[in-house]
Amino acid sequence: MTLWRWALSNNDTQTYAIADKRVVWIQVVKGNIEVNGQTATTSDGLAIWQEASLTMTASEDSEILLFDLPAAD
């Protein structure tokens, strides 16, 4: 498992590549973000699988935790 803590400023956009056989969990610590078209706010979590990459855009100053995990067999 790899854990990332990201702080995104208002209107900041970041991308994250997801390796084969990996899944991602995003936990929004504070703020409001859009991830691949899905909106998440403070305390929301998003499970992402079967995607090659993520595009995250903050609509206000935000903090997230991104967990990069091995996919289940």
Q: What percent of the chain has pLDDT over 70?
A: 100
Grade residue 3 by pLDDT with cuts at 50, 70 and 90. very high
Quick one: pLDDT at residue 64? 98
Q: Tell me the torsion sign for CA atoms 17, 57, 1, 44.
A: negative
Mean pLDDT (whole number) for 11-37? 97
| Each residue's pLDDT tens digit, 42-71 | 999 999 999 999 999 999 999 999 999 999
**pTM exceeding 0.85:** yes
User: For the chain, which domains are there?
Assistant: 2-70 (2.60.120.10)
